[in-house]
Amino acid sequence: MSQFKMTFVSVRFVTRRYVCQSLKKIHTSSSSSSASSAEYDNKKKEEIDARRKEIMARGLPKQKAIPGVKQILLVASGKGGVGKSTTAVNLSTAIKAVEPNKSVGLLDADVFGPSIPLMMNLHDTPILNQENLMEPLLNYGVKCMSMGFLIDEKSPVIWRGLMVMSALDKLIRQTAWMPLDYLIVDTPPGTGDTHLSLIQNLPLSGVIIVTTPQSAALQVARRGAVMFQKMKVPVAGIVENMSSVTCPVCSHQVQLFGDGTESLAEELDIDFLEKIPMDSQISKYCDNGTPIVLSMPQSLIANAYYRLAHTVIDFLKKQPINNT
């Protein structure tokens, strides 16, 4: 309490000093009103120009690899709820099943709406190792880290931009990922601060765009894909999720949302990777924390995810590897 009071007193002191100095400055400038205002404007402009140059010279933050992590792949989309997390979970577990000797990680970069704890059935709190790094939680051979491991599952995260960025940075840099061949990153919806921060701070091997085939989702997916292309992140391709539904009675396939994904891929000159149907088994196994690729490995749906895993591995083989 006394510490709080002291801090409060110092804040008041500093504030008062600052206000006095600022008033002094205002007074000085107003008393120099005899000097020509043009001269004053020029001086101000020069100051602003010099400051702008200084900021520009600093440039964008430098991309810094995560020690021991060879390749990083984002799973992104424009719209929310199109199946990014479902794809990220099934893709990372499928990659691990296809290449059991490789180490695979899954980072949940959705700080506000983490899905990985539920979908990977992980509910413990990470422990700190001797280097003060958080040990990722492990299930199905995949190392996972999520904001959901660090907060109470029922509490909302009420943070502003900078706090989110700093939390994300901690999930990335203060996790004992090493060694990792592939880090799959499940991103939040949209193309906002999180994506820009990931692009600016990490050497990314690529991104896959997940979309559903209706126009509203495709339009936003286009914006997302173009943003990654502009920021020079290799786009591995588009996954169409919830492509069609099979009638449980007559087995007839119905395309609920249209079929614009392939033409979008063509338009943007990126690969069309896979069609994943809408199927209650996918969400059932996701909600149980037992991804369908492991629960029903012989199913057509699991096959589609395994094909996707092979395509992604082939794509990553062509991308640079971080050896730090």
Ligand X SMILES: Nc1ncnc2c1ncn2[C@@H]1O[C@H](COP(=O)(O)OP(=O)(O)OP(=O)(O)O)[C@@H](O)[C@H]1O
82 is an interface residue for ligand X by CB under 6 A: yes
Please list every residue from 252 through 291 that binds ligand X, using CB under 6 A. 276, 278-279, 282-283, 286
Nearer to ligand X, 114 or 181 (CB): 114
Binds 278: which of ligand X, Mg ion, none (CB < 5-8 Å by kind): ligand X
Q: Which stretch binds ligand X (CB under 6 A): 9-17, 61-69, 80-88, 216-224?
A: 80-88
By CB atoms closer than 10 A (0-12, 13-18, 19+), residue 225 is: buried
Interatomic CA distance for residues 124 and 117, integer angstroms = 9
Strands 142-146 and 137-139: antiparallel
115 is an interface residue for Mg ion by CB under 5 A: yes
86 is an interface residue for ligand X by CB under 6 A: yes
Q: Coil, helix or strand for 156?
A: coil
Nearer to Mg ion, 176 or 292 (CB): 292
H-type helices in the chain, by residue range? 2-31, 37-58, 84-98, 116-119, 161-173, 193-201, 215-230, 261-268, 280-288, 292-295, 300-317
Binding mask 66-105 for Mg ion (x = CB under 5 A): ------------------xx--------------------
Binding mask 214-233 for ligand X (x = CB under 6 A): --------------------
Give the list of residues 6+ apart from residue 141 with CB closer than 8 angstroms, or none: 93, 96, 100, 104
| Minimum separation from the CB atom of position 107 to ligand X (A) | 14
83 is an interface residue for ligand X by CB under 6 A: yes
Sign of the CA dihedral with 69 first, then 70, 76, and 81 last: negative
Q: Which stretch binds ligand X (CB under 6 A): 9-17, 19-27, 81-89, 139-147?
A: 81-89
Binds 290: which of ligand X, Mg ion, none (CB < 5-8 Å by kind): none
DSSP 204: -
Amino acid residing at 235:
V
CB atoms within 10 A of CB 282: 25
Binding site for ligand X (CB under 6 A): 77, 80-86, 110, 113, 115, 188-189, 241-242, 276, 278-279, 282-283, 286
